[in-house]
Amino acid sequence: MLAPERRTRADLYAAVAIVVVVVIAVVVVWANSAARGTESDPAAHPASPAPAADRLPETLTERWHAPDGAASRALTSSGVAVTGDGGTVSGLDPADGHQVWRYRRDIPLCAVESQFATAIATYRDSRGCSQTTMLDTADGKRRTARSSYMDSRLQLSTDGTYMVAQGPDRLEVWRSDLVRTLEYGHVDAPVNPRTQPRQGCRLLSATSGGSRLAVLERCPDDVADRLTVLNPAPKDASAPEEYGSHVLTEPGAADEKARVIAASDNRIVLYLPGNDIAPPEFAVYDTAANPIATHRLTAPLAENSTVTRLGSDYFVFTGNSVIALNATTFEPQWTASDASGSPAMMAGAILVPVTDGIEALDPSTGAARKRIPLHRSDYHGEPISLAVSGTVVLEQRGGRLYGTS
């Protein structure tokens, strides 16, 4: 019979050493993890969307304001106003501005967007704007997250189906669960080399519209900008599928201010700034990147111009006016002059910010229905982005969000 095993002093020392190593490893992992620098303060009870307004207000008064430097437009979803500033994303009560929920990290925000009753917040670390978190806008709880190599600055845009994260060298398209459906441009460590159709291109502008992704890019061997139309969700996310790609020959096609305005399942519209002998224009293309039509503009778009989609229609804030585009053909329908920013919809009317308040327009004709007075505090002519939550009109301007009612 074998003698029973006995613990020795060396065994005890070894066990203690193992425990110490494990504890140190846990501490190191925790110290370097995202969780250490994250504070999540969700709502005790989910917010509820406010009933839609059935009539336009007679006047508006500022009720509150909050920092909002990371979002590119006024955001509201699930009955809360969403703001992003520093490293914090907040859900605020639109009526009085009090905090409903908060999510904070100790790294800076790159961008904040909202879609599908969620807030998507992208943070910057050593790999660029690479850390993205999705929050439920009703209560601020974390739904999911993703991490990947990205540029150090990017723009987030949504189309009702996909989200596009575009930087100057690389873009990704994400599903509603943040799963990547496409990567395009620079690939940090491609598994399969030469899957990208071109190398070294600078991505100037990109917009998704359902089944099409339009990218305006400048490639090393091209004399002007190139319009490339892609499948936003190919079979392999790392292998882009092109529907068409052509170097543009129209006036203004080599100008840095050219951009994609909108995309749909069968049309794409670009803004081309023109040149000394040709005026600026909206140029319409099919989904193979072939030209279809042009619509001349009376003045170039300002650098702070924006595009807003309300329902199925598109509205372009030019810097001093709003142009409504036909949802099917992208042909300009009407123009509202003396605008101070991008519009929103309320009680069946298009709300457009103007110098002394907000003007309500007929969506079909652009005819003025009503002028709503509003005195803006600390306003210095910055472009205004509008959003509506129930009877509250939100204004984003100058890096802050204002609630008015």
Domain CATH code at residue 183: 2.130.10.10
Tens of pLDDT along the chain (405 residues)? 455 555 565 554 555 555 444 444 433 334 444 455 899 999 999 999 989 999 999 999 999 999 999 999 999 999 999 999 999 999 999 999 999 999 999 999 999 999 999 999 999 999 999 999 999 999 999 999 999 999 999 999 999 899 999 999 999 999 999 999 999 999 876 666 678 999 999 999 999 998 999 999 999 999 999 999 999 999 999 999 999 999 999 999 999 899 999 999 999 999 999 998 899 999 999 999 999 999 999 999 999 999 999 988 999 999 999 999 999 999 999 999 999 999 999 999 999 999 999 999 999 999 999 999 999 999 999 999 999 999 999 999 999 999 999
Pairing of strands 321-325, 306-310: unpaired
In a domain, 113, yes or no: yes
CB 247 within 8 A of CB 254: no
Instruction: Give the model's pLDDT for residue 18.
Output: 57
In a domain, 39, yes or no: no
CB 51 within 8 A of CB 346: no
Instruction: Give the model's pLDDT for residue 19.
Output: 47
In a domain, 9, yes or no: no
In a domain, 15, yes or no: no
Q: Bridge-partner residues for 332, per DSSP?
A: 325
In a domain, 287, yes or no: yes
Instruction: Give the model's pLDDT for residue 64.
Output: 98
Instruction: Give the model's pLDDT for residue 61.
Output: 98
- Tally of domains within the chain: 1
In a domain, 34, yes or no: no
Helix H, strand E, coil C: the string for the chain is CCCCCCCCHHHHHHHHHHHHHHHHHHHHHHHCCCHHHEEEECCCCCCCCCCCCCCCCCCECEEEEEECCCECCCEEECCEEEEEECCEEEEECCCCCCEEEEEEECCCEEEEEEECCEEEEEEEECCEEEEEEEEECCCCCEEEEEECCCCCCCEEEECCCCEEEECCCEEEEECCCCCEEEEEECCCCCCCCCCCCCCCCEEEEEEEECCEEEEEEECCCCCCCEEEEECCCCCCCCCCCEEEEEECCCCCCCCCCCEEEEECCCCEEEEECCCCCCCCEEEEECCCCCEEEEEECCCCCCCCCEEEEECCEEEEECCCEEEEECCCCCCEEEEEECCCEECEEECCEEEEEECCEEEEECCCCCCEEEEEEECCCCCCCCCEEEEEECCEEEEEECCEEEEEC
In a domain, 354, yes or no: yes
Q: What gap in Å lies between CA 219 and CA 35, rounded to an integer?
A: 40
Q: What gap in Å lies between CA 102 and CA 364, rounded to an integer?
A: 39
Tokens of 120: 């998507």
In a domain, 27, yes or no: no
From the CA atom positions of the chain, what is the Rg in Å? Answer: 25
User: Whole domain around residue 64: which residue ranges?
Assistant: 45-404
